[in-house]
Structure 1
Amino acid sequence: MAEHETGSSGALLEQTLGEVRKVIVGQEHMVERLVVALVAGGHCLLEGVPGVAKTLAVSSLAQVTGGTFARIQFTPDLVPSDIVGTRIYRPSSEKFDVELGPVFANFVLADEINRAPAKVQSALLEVMAERQVSLTGQTYRLPRPFIVLATQNPIESEGVYPLPEAQRDRFLMKINIPYPDAHDELAILRRMSVDPPVPQQVLDPEMLLGLQRAAEQITVHELVADYIVRLVMATRQPAAYRMPDLAALIEIGASPRATLGLVSAARALALLRGREFVLPEDVRDVAREVLTHRIVLTFDAVADGIDQSELVDRILACVPPPRVVWNHGPS
């Protein structure tokens, strides 16, 4: 890829970030990671307490990037046909027609996804994994690009269903969203209480597909690829990477999707930063969001209140990245 093309893609993504930040005060990390997931073409799970702008961030991103947008409020009484569609009898024609569900959009916001029962989760799993829906023996392809952006509330326990490991693994990234600090809270008060700003559209679906193709062309050096594999293997065999104490805390390590996810997310981040190649720092920056939700803790670790992000930080500290030696030529 030509350097000027990479630079223009990075500038376009920076403009996208700027428009979303008009609406979302603070939460710089969340906004950047949402754009990274978008460019990487992966689904994203946002977890945070009520009122930290999860839904607003997703809807603002959809406005800025164009394309069709659908919001599905997940509830315990939801059934699969509510999201994927169903057959409807038409008395005028005396036959059944297929009515496609709200998932047939470029951006699907699955709000409070952990409130839906198992049947709905399994239907959504096919949508996320295969990007298609099967109805009455027919297969319907979803539009491109297609991304599920889901939110969940971690503090409620009544009427919620924990996401199955297989479905969590389908999310490229999981982003934890904290409360804003006092400075950002004051900015929210000033900006949103009178005349809330409206973001302007920067991209369209074809431009986004082009950015996704550009990200796929970002170079990943063999040493960086080896670093990615070592990080993932350390979640499965921590004793082999000088972390024997983690073996009693990790029941199941990250899957091969984590390896692919680290590559695609690091490439998207490198493109956002205007580079044609991935640095180890790019991998480290996205490792928390890509690995955390894929690690299954043992019963003892859960009982002791261990958090997966702590384990990922430990792995990042213990698995050395490759050294980058800049060759500036003869002096």
Structure 2
Amino acid sequence: MAARFFLGVGEACIAPGFALVTGMFYKREEQPARQAAWFLGNCIANVIGGVVAYGIGHIKGTSVSTWQLIFLILGAVTCGIALVLFVILPDSPAKAIFLRKRERAIALQRTLTNKTGVMDTGKFKWEQAFMAIKDPQCWCLMLYNFCSCLCNGGITTFGTILIRGFGYSTLKSLLLQMPIGAAQIVFMVTTTIFTTYVPRTRVIMMMINTAASMIGMILVWKLDEDNKVGRLVGISLGGVFAANIPLSLSLVSSNVAGFTKRSTVSALLFIAYCVGNIVGPQFFLSSEEPSYPTGMKSAISGLALGVFFLILLLVYYIFENNRRDRMYGPPSQLAESEELEQELSNKTDTEISSFRYVL
């Protein structure tokens, strides 16, 4: 348990950190594709991971357990990549060692219209942290993350057991988790292309992906036990809501201005993600193995509530944009000097009158 705790500590900064860096380098309309690009590695790992685990499971003649070998081999690769990123991954355009001075200026200039702030002064602004806690969009995204992860925690922890309950061996169950990653890749690529070329569709696509996962979990729960293919399709669909993770991160990097506020919102969303993953498996009772009816009900309910909170988020964005248009008029084209001033002001989205939320 202690080792798992420190594993979680090490993983905690990955998604929020990558999201912050992505928001510094790319325009708001470019961010869904870029957030999805690095998160795609997670989906590919789900596919390849099944093959790797299957192969490691056949290693014989060692004093180390199979599960320990998996952690040692994959952990060593991860640590090696971490050292490379420590050297080459910048935390702002101004510190990008792979860009020349002129290119750094261009990288900063091209994101001026974001109005979300790219400069970390190193000072934590408590007033921005309190703004984050009071922000309705933060609460909608937090509650969505928590509810959807009731399903994620169950699939991640008990996915192999669920598949084994369809009548497959333990090693084959590891291999048959590959379709979950494949389905995530298909939905993520489709979602990314759609949201990149069709404006105002990020939240709507998140609803569709979550609803697809809910349908998948219903198939696993309600189909006859002898319908192995149908139930396997269901559990593959059950994980496609993961395609929403880069979209939710892009909403944070696009719609939350102020460096401290954005960092706080990112941290709160990840906390909700972690709590959901902790709570979700508790509904998968050992006495109900391998069908886990209580766990399936909790996963489906969580996904349904997730859709509800996304609807609330969309309504809030539309209402707030219309309210600002009535108060300040439609956002006008600002001079470059004004855009630079707003970008470097480190003000929050609620303090910039020309700020409008992307949907």
Q: TM-score range by the shorter chain?
A: under 0.3
Q: Name the structure with the higher strand share.
A: 1
Higher normalized contact order (CA 8 Å, seq sep 6+, divided by chain length)? 2
Q: TM-score, normalised by structure 2?
A: 0.21
